[in-house]
Amino acid sequence: YKPYKLQEVYDLGVLREVHRNGLGHALMYEVYIYAKKHGYDYITVKTLDESAIYEPYDRSRNFYTKEGFLPLEVFKYYWNEDNPCLYLVKSIK
pTM summary value? 0.87
| Per-residue pLDDT at 11 exceeds 90 | no
| pLDDT tens sequence across 39-88 | 999 999 999 999 998 888 899 999 999 999 999 999 999 999 899 999 99
CB-based contact 41:6 (threshold 8 Å): yes
Would you state the pLDDT for residue 61? 94
| Per-residue pLDDT at 1 exceeds 90 | no
DSSP the chain: --PPPEEEE------GGGTTSSHHHHHHHHHHHHHHHTT-SEEEEEEE-TTS--HHHHHHHHHHHHTT-EEEEEEEEEEETTEEEEEEEEE--
